């Protein structure tokens, strides 16, 4: 079994861990192990990128064809001189 030391733990966090451990009738070390075990038991799937999320949401509506206008030359900038 591996061991680990946690340094620079906030006093308030340590106090809450101590109270939580006492509520569950176990040591702070056992409580910390249980918290880590519970937190890491669920596997998190990576979040899809924005394009994939939008595509997944609108896929049931079907595809959309947009008319793309032909490209034209750049217009001359307006002249605001009096």
pLDDT for 20-78, tens place per residue? 999 999 999 999 999 999 988 877 777 778 988 888 888 888 877 788 999 999 999 99
Query: Does residue 72 belong to any structural domain of this protein?
Result: no
Q: What pLDDT score was predicted for residue 79?
A: 92
20, 31 contact by CB (below 8 A): yes
pTM above 0.75, yes or no: no
Query: Does residue 70 belong to any structural domain of this protein?
Result: no
Query: Does residue 51 belong to any structural domain of this protein?
Result: no
Q: What pLDDT score was predicted for residue 26?
A: 97
Q: How many domains does the chain have?
A: 1
Give the residue-averaged pLDDT of 2-21.
Answer: 94
Q: Which domain holds residue 33?
A: 11-41
Query: Does residue 29 belong to any structural domain of this protein?
Result: yes
Query: Does residue 4 belong to any structural domain of this protein?
Result: no
Query: Does residue 54 belong to any structural domain of this protein?
Result: no
Of the candidates 23, 33, 39, 40, the one whose C-alpha atom is nearest the C-alpha of residue 1 is 33
8 has a pLDDT exceeding 80: yes
Query: Does residue 37 belong to any structural domain of this protein?
Result: yes
Distance CA 8, CA 76 (A): 64
Query: Does residue 60 belong to any structural domain of this protein?
Result: no
């Amino acid at each position: 079994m591996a061991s680990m030391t946690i340094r620079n733990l906030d006093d308030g966090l340590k106090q809450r861990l101590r109270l939580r451990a006492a509520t569950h009738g176990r040591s702070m070390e056992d409580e910390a192990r249980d918290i880590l075990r519970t937190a890491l038991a669920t596997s998190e799937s990576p979040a899809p990128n924005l394009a994939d999320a939008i595509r997944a949401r609108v896929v049931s509506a079907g595809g959309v064809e947009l008319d793309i206008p032909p490209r034209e030359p750049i217009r001359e900038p307006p002249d605001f001189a009096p």
